[in-house]
Amino acid sequence: MPGFELFGDQERKQVNDVLETGVLMRYGFDGMRNGHWKAKELETAISSRMQVKHTQLVSSGTSALTIALASAGIGAGDEVIMPTFTFVASFESIIALGAVPVLVDIDDTLTLDPQKVIEAITPKTKVVMPVHMCGSMANLKALKDICSKHNLLLLEDACQAIGGSYEGKPLGSYGDLGCFSFDYVKTITCGEGGAIITNNDAYAKHADHYSDHGHDHVGKDRGAESHPFLGYNFRISELNAAVGLAQIARLDDFLSIQKKNYTALREAIEDIPGVTMRTVPEGGEENYSFLTFFMPDEETARITQQELVANEVDGCFYWFDNNWHYVKKWEHLKDLKSLGKLPEEVVNGLPDYNTQDFSQSDNWLGRTVSVLIKLSWTEEEVTNRAEKMKQVLSAVAV
């Protein structure tokens, strides 16, 4: 990861197809396209690869989450359970609809703790939204059982985990809806873009309309289309889709490279005393975009990350202090800092996250170090990196 590391002739060819027609918009202009419909082709390719009936391409992973929620009728005052460790887009998408993000502790999977999810359910809860951070997944079977028992929607945020699987099903396809991001630093990229996948016909139809101002896309005259309900502009462009069309064809090759590089690094450190690997739920396979492990305590984890960087092992993350990915530094959410007046349902419904106890999450994330797995490393670079990591962790963990 990320896919831009291996841009080549395939991406250029797809983009040039679009530039030669001059049609950059995914809808309309049928006669000028010379048969090129890159967004439609990419939707078909994603549906095939993810083993689902429907894919809706949109402008970003954030918009994908927003549209997925909206397509299922989530709105003002509805509660959406999400983890404390994610990207800020998770709660942004919820608040954008006037719904309420309910933050819940993570466990050793670094995703939602099913028991904490049960404890967080109220009569207003409508959705459980696990976020498959750093290439691995939540305990989806346990979460699906909870959702079935309480009649809740299971929405998978698989933006960081495309290509991973659980019980033989591609991540994103296990729940009622799944979302992907194709921004510049994802395993496959469109530059900017995202997608919603589902087997639910109604959700798919709603997502199609909602992401394009409510257009029903019936007929061939865009100006004559009707608007069954309100929507917004979350469209992807043909240029972005063209890049993604080349990249989805290369996904399995990317995953193979990531797994090879990941395995070499993991084998170098996994038996070092004091180092514990992140838990992958039984039946799950990561997409190998990050190697994530626990150190014995917070102080040791901080030192480990610092020493790895000092020894030129780049792409090392200590998420506990990260501004964008952990609740500890989400002051703008905690204090509801907004340019305009927020919906009363959000203001009145949001828990006081300045005082809420997330010590369980602190325990796990405070001990966590993640190392990005690159696609462009040579064998020599992987070998050298593995040796450096082994030396650093052996010294720090003593």
Looking at residue 156, which CATH number applies to its domain? 3.40.640.10
Statement to judge: residues 147 and 284 lie in one domain: no
User: Are 259 and 244 within one domain?
Assistant: no
Q: How far apart are CA 107 and CA 116, in angstroms?
A: 9
What's the mean per-residue pLDDT of the chain? 97
Are 257 and 240 members of one domain? no
Average pLDDT of the residues in 165-177: 98
249, 41 in Cβ contact below 8 A?
no
* Confidence check: pLDDT of 398 > 80: no
The tens digit of pLDDT for each residue in 189-231 reads: 999 999 999 999 999 999 999 999 999 999 989 999 999 999 9
28 and 98, same domain (yes or no): yes
d(CA 316, CA 28): 45
* Judgement on whether residues 115 and 238 belong to the same structural domain of the protein: yes
Residue pLDDT, tens place only, 101-154:
999 999 999 999 999 999 999 999 999 999 999 999 999 999 999 999 999 999
Q: In whole angstroms, what is the distance from residue 126 CA to residue 18 CA? A: 41
Torsions phi, psi for 23 (to 5 deg)? -95, 105
pTM flag (> 0.95): yes
State the pLDDT confidence band at 2, using cuts at 50, 70 and 90: confident
What is the rounded average pLDDT of the residues 343-372? 97
Question: What percentage of the chain exceeds 70 in pLDDT?
Answer: 100
Query: What is residue 215's three-state secondary structure?
Result: coil
Same domain flag for 318 and 381: yes
Are 119 and 243 contained in the same domain?
Answer: yes
> At residue 385, does pLDDT exceed 90?
yes
CATH of residue 378's domain is: 3.90.1150.10
Q: How far apart are CA 112 and CA 337, in angstroms?
A: 26
Q: Which residues of 313-335 are buried (b: 16+ CB within 10 A; e: fewer)?
A: beebbbbbeeeebbbbebeebbe
Same domain, 211 and 302: no
The confidence score (pLDDT) of residue 1 equals: 78
50 and 120, same structural domain? yes
Out of 201, 218, 250, pick the residue that ends a domain.
250
Residue of 325, 240, 323 lying closest to 290 (CA atoms): 325
pLDDT tens for residues 16-52?
999 999 999 999 999 999 999 999 999 999 999 999 9
Is 261 found in the same domain as 201? Answer: no
Which of these, 65, 30, 26, 21, lies nearest to 43 by C-alpha position? 26
DSSP for 302-327 reads HHHHHHHHHTT--SEE-GGG-TTTBG
Partners of 57 in the beta sheet? 195
Q: Which domain holds residue 327?
A: 252-396
Residue type (1 letter), 60: S
Which pLDDT value is given to residue 381?
A: 97
Domain boundary among 250, 280, 304: 250
Q: Cα 369 vs. chain centroid, distance in angstroms?
A: 19
- Of 188, 222, 250, the position where a domain reaches its end is 250
Domain total of the chain: 2
Same domain, 342 and 207: no
**Domain match, 70 and 183 both:** yes
281-337 confidence digits (pLDDT tens): 999 999 999 999 999 999 999 999 999 999 999 999 999 999 999 999 999 999 999
pLDDT at 397 over 80: no
Starting from the edge strand earliest in sequence, which strands make up the sheet with 79-83, in order? 54-58, 194-198, 177-181, 153-157, 125-128, 79-83, 100-104
